[in-house]
Chain A
Amino acid sequence: MQEISKKDRMKIPRQPMPEQQPDIRNSNFQEVNLGFTEELARMEALRCIQCPKPTCTSGCPVGINIREFINLVAEGDYLGAAAKIKQDNALPAVCGRVCPQEEQCEAVCVVGKKNEPVAIGRLERFVADYEREHVGIRQPEVKPKTGKRVAIIGSGPAGLSCAGDLIQMGHDVTVFEALHELGGVLVYGIPEFRLPKEIVKAEVDGLRKLGVDFQTNAVIGFTDTIDELLANGYDAVFIAVGAGLPYFMNIPGENHNGVYSSNEFLTRVNLMKAYKFPEFDTPVFDCKGKNVAVFGGGNTAMDAVRTSKRLGAKNAYIIYRRSDAEMPARKEEVHHAKEEGIQFLYLENPLEFIGENGWLKQVKLRKMELGEPDASGRRKPVPVPGSEHIMDIDMAVVAIGNGSNPIIQKTTPDIDYNKRGNIVVDEATMKTSKKGVFAGGDIVTGGATVILAMGAGRKAAAAINNYLSV
């Protein structure tokens, strides 16, 4: 295999990911991507030219040894590849599916300069799934017990990856989760058709087997405060509560029946399984045959609009105030959404929701044009005067971003926050202004990605370990 020349490797086309057909998958909640077969994975792995100085690793927020793991895949050692990835990434089955690789590792892949980049994410997913399906999630060695206890608040990606590292280092770990299921945004936010909940459950079960204690229905700030945790035997606390405060647009009519925050809509469908109503008791707006508009351009907006399509929406729109080029959503999600029949309306901004008898009926929109770049580097949308028009819609989802849920802030005043409500931490140690308390993930950065949260969780685990060893 290694006899194939670099030139020939670069001629191999990027292998297609088997997927459900768009007009079938847009009415079911099964996973869209079906995963590489072994043949496809080996062929894709051969495309990697094994650069002597790989740039891909520097594109990865947690620095996975990409060249090495792909080499192991090419050699057929999938379990070895999984172990290699797990040296740096605790949840490859998750990241392989949800990372925006086109902005990270694949964006700097050398093969990508002349051809399409190596499908690093798809290979990561293949390897993680292979391990889980063939041998179960493998248990790494756990060091002898240190006698120290750590409380982790939040069972999302930051909390889970931090728990995974700390338990291996020999500390006792308890993860507190406010909801009744574990996984945070992985279970309430990201839909089943992008990230099957079985995978999250398998990861959590793996952590439980290592000895992590999970407590659901625990709202830290209410059920226990951080001060109480520290007083009751926990030597350190990691705050990983995420970005759990919905932003609304604050336009007239936003409280009409049929206007949802993305958090509510997705929580009803993903966490509470409203798509299986009445087998499951939680209902959600009946989208069948209706017009649904989702406002926003990120992954959450894509998730919401594709979910509404699957719930039977006749017309499912993305309404975004900038243009396609500025949309922050993962490219594959936008691509899949378009294939599934989602209609994209660009350069439109909502002014008012219009209703009848309390029910949403229409939205008043105004056209925008792109002006000078703003602080985020994207061109600022500027209203076009006199361009107001009305559109009929039955349901709206506001997916314009999330802020930090203020429960911890209100109940732990000695932790420093910034103006946006995010916890301020030391970049290197993830320490907050409160002794023994660390923080990471969306509560620090604002709404971001799963991989960044996981990187923060691992960084915090190392810092907490240092703190406890002194």
Chain B
Amino acid sequence: MIFFWVGRQNIVLSFLLLKKYICRNFFYNNLHKFMYKIKSAEFLAPGIKRFVIEAPKIAAKRKAGQFVIIRVDSSGERIPLTIADSNAAEGTITIIVQGIGKTTKQLNGLNSGDCISDVVGPLGKPSHIEYFGTAVSIGGGVGTAIAFPTAVALKQAGNHTISIIGGRSKELVLLEDELKIICDEVYPTTDDGSYGFHGFVTQKLQQLIDSGRKIDFVLAIGPIPMMKAIAEVTRPYGIKTVVSLNPVMVDGTGMCGGCRATVDNKTVFVCVDGPEFDAHQVDFDLLVQRNMTYTADEKKSLEKHECRLNSLN
């Protein structure tokens, strides 16, 4: 490049100046395309990684409950991921990714200094936050990370906030320390009893209800069977319950209808009408069914990815 002829110090200087634009993982950087650089990346639990990404415009606008659509590289698919946190001053957003299929596993293979090809947002309607009274935020697995910003917002709105963190085992109980700082009560639960309450989040919620606590609002985010089960726990008491749906998405702006779900017997586009909905009106079975559309392809893609990784090692 133009600096090379002026001596070694200038080469180092120019490299440092250009480092801002260099992504470790992209051999060719499209200089006129904004690349989303990863500032930090760390595993919170096996298979669950937290990323802080440079995305100033998104960070400036983002509200709790909103998501981004990410495309890792130029042959990648577009997937939605909830924005767990943001820092407008630093111009960064935080996402927490559970590596399940090819794209999330590929993403979890990236580290600080790497770039993501495309990040678009903030998308979706922000969480509806108001003073309810006593609000319970329930997270199952990585759902805890997704619910985290809304739990913060609920507390800021003056609610007495209770957080139930569900994990299959102790290492999958996420963000307990962070939630203890914000929420009034925090109850970790594990399926295998290795930590906290031995049982499902539904059982812990039922326990709280049975103990006579007046609960005014429940937010539940996690695997679909969990959200469905929580809805059934609260339905007989008429407790307002909100869930965040996770359909397959492509564009994320309401242009394709791929994310359609049935809520209150009407078709909605989760990307623009949601992603949060009244749990008692959601047709969870339809969501499960539609999410199985590409199961065979997802398996194929993952096998190809893992085969490639194995051949590189």
Contact = CB atoms under 8 A, between A and B. Distances in A.
A273 B188 CA distance: 44
B119 interface: yes
A225 to B, nearest CB: 9
Q: Which one of B61, B120, B290, B296 has the highest number of Cβ atoms from chain A below 10 Å of its Cβ?
A: B120
A277 B286 CA distance: 26
Nearest to A261: B257
A278 B251 CA distance: 19
Nearest to A277: B297
A254 B262 CA distance: 11
B32 interface: yes
Contact of B75 (A223, A244, A273): A273
Interface in B244-279: 250-251, 253-258, 260-262, 267, 272
Given A222-B123, A283-B297, A358 B290 contact: yes
Contact of B78 (A218, A254, A282, A285): A282
B214 interface: no
Interface in A408-441: none
Contact of A358 (B34, B257, B289): B289
B253 A215 contact: no
B255 A405 contact: yes
Contact of A179 (B32, B251, B267, B296): B251
B254 A222 contact: no
Given A214-B32, A281-B301, A406 B254 contact: yes
Interface stretch (A36-44, A62-70, A125-133, A263-271): A263-271
B123 A219 contact: yes
A281 B103 contact: yes
Contact of B256 (A180, A208, A261, A283): A261
Given A264-B250, A264-B256, A219 B120 contact: yes
A140 B252 CA distance: 37
Contacts of B76: 281
B254 A278 contact: no
A21 interface: no
B118 interface: yes
A281 B102 contact: yes
10 contacts: A217-B118, A219-B123, A246-B257, A255-B261, A257-B289, A257-B293, A261-B257, A263-B256, A264-B257, A405-B255
Contact of A246 (B255, B294, B301, B304): B255
A184 to B, nearest CB: 11
Nearest to A223: B57
B77 interface: yes
B8 interface: no
Q: Is the interface of A mostly helix, strand, loop or mixed?
A: loop
A294 B118 CA distance: 32
Contact of A255 (B77, B251, B286, B300): B286
B33 interface: yes
Given A219-B120, A281-B301, A407 B61 contact: no
B288 to A, nearest CB: 9
Contacts of A215: 34
Interface residues of B, number: 45
B121 interface: yes
Given A272-B78, A279-B75, A405 B254 contact: yes
Given A180-B120, A222-B122, A268-B250, A246 B256 contact: yes
A244 B253 contact: yes
Contacts of A267: 250-251, 255-256
A406 B296 CA distance: 34
Nearest to B58: A223
B77 A272 contact: yes
B272 A264 contact: no
A248 interface: yes
Given A254-B267, A273-B75, A278-B300, A407 B253 contact: yes
A281 B77 contact: yes
B189 interface: no
Contacts of B292: 257, 358
B250 A283 contact: no
Contacts of A255: 260-262, 267, 286, 290
A272 B120 contact: no
B191 interface: no
Given A257-B290, A282-B78, A263 B257 contact: yes
Nearest to B297: A283
Nearest to B71: A180
A178 interface: yes
Contacts of B300: 278
A214 B258 CA distance: 27
A244 B286 contact: no
B34 A217 contact: yes
Given A255-B261, A261-B257, A264-B258, 8 more contacts: A222-B253, A223-B120, A224-B57, A245-B254, A277-B297, A283-B297, A358-B289, A405-B253
Contact of A283 (B261, B262, B298): B298
Contacts of B256: 246, 261, 263-264, 267
A282 B77 contact: yes
B308 to A, nearest CB: 11
A224 B56 CA distance: 12
Contact of A216 (B33, B122, B257, B304): B33
A263 B255 contact: yes
Interface in B49-67: 57-58, 61
B241 interface: no
Nearest to B118: A180
B117 interface: yes
Interface string B292-313: 1110111011001000000000
Contacts of A214: 32
A258 B66 CA distance: 28
B248 to A, nearest CB: 10
Contacts of A357: 289
Interface in A179-234: 179-180, 208, 214-219, 222-224
Given A180-B118, A222-B121, A407 B301 contact: no
Interface string A277-294: 111111101100000000
Q: Which 9 A-B pairs have the closest CB atoms?
A: A283-B297, A358-B289, A264-B256, A281-B77, A217-B120, A244-B255, A282-B77, A180-B118, A261-B257
B284 to A, nearest CB: 13
A442 B290 CA distance: 31
B153 to A, nearest CB: 19
A223 B77 contact: no
Nearest to B102: A281
